[in-house]
């Protein structure tokens, strides 16, 4: 799997054409531009906080996100069951049966598992390259070859 490195550089001025050209020559490509501005009082009322993606949590120092081990377990199990073609309702039953709960403490439902799909798609490539998934893949291969 091809690894990609992203670099975020805070700026105070627009980069010059020469700076952009130097980055491009050294193998970087521009993939996004992020803009920010200070909101006036009337706008600040309408801002909703960003939700931390499932599987991550704010680190104790508050400066970064880190993996949440329990939520990672949920993602791995949900991915395994999806690969095994379990319907969403059965995935929810399995998660609940193993004692996993949603962030708000409620049980998993067919809809909440469905709503987890975008996150599974997002973390899937990284998840598939882990040692944990390699062991599960061997198990799934044996399971399907026995069928």
pLDDT of residue 71: 95
Helix (H, G, I), strand (E, B) or coil at 65: strand
pLDDT tens-place string over residues 81-112? 998 899 999 999 999 999 999 999 999 999 99
Q: Which residue has the tokens 């069928």?
A: 147
User: 117 vs 37, which has greater pLDDT?
Assistant: 117
Q: Is 91 exposed, middle or buried (0-12, 13-18, 19+ CB in 10 A)?
A: buried
Q: Which two tokens stand for residue 29?
A: 């490509």
In the chain, domain spans:
68-145
pLDDT of residue 143: 65
With beta carbons less than 8 A apart as the criterion, state whether 81 and 90 touch.
Answer: yes
pLDDT grade, residue 119 (50/70/90)?
very high
pLDDT tens-place string over residues 37-83? 888 877 776 666 778 999 999 999 888 999 999 999 999 999 989 98
Average pLDDT over residues 128-137: 71
Q: Distance between CA atoms of 123 and 108, rounded to whole angstroms? A: 20
pLDDT of residue 88: 97
């Amino acid at each position: 799997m091809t690894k990609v490195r992203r670099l975020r550089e805070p700026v105070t001025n627009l980069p010059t054409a020469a700076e952009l050209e130097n980055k491009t020559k050294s193998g970087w490509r521009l993939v996004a531009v992020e803009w920010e501005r200070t909101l006036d009082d009337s706008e600040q009322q309408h801002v909703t906080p960003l939700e931390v993606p499932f599987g991550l949590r704010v680190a104790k120092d508050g400066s970064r996100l880190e993996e949440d081990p329990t939520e990672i377990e949920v993602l791995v199990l949900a991915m395994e069951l999806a690969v095994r073609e379990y319907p969403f309702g059965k995935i929810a039953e399995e998660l609940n049966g193993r004692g996993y709960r949603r962030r708000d403490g409620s049980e998993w439902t067919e809809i909440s598992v469905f709503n987890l799909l975008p996150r599974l798609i997002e973390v899937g490539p990284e998840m598939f390259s882990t040692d944990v998934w390699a062991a599960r893949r061997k198990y799934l291969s044996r399971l399907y070859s026995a069928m």
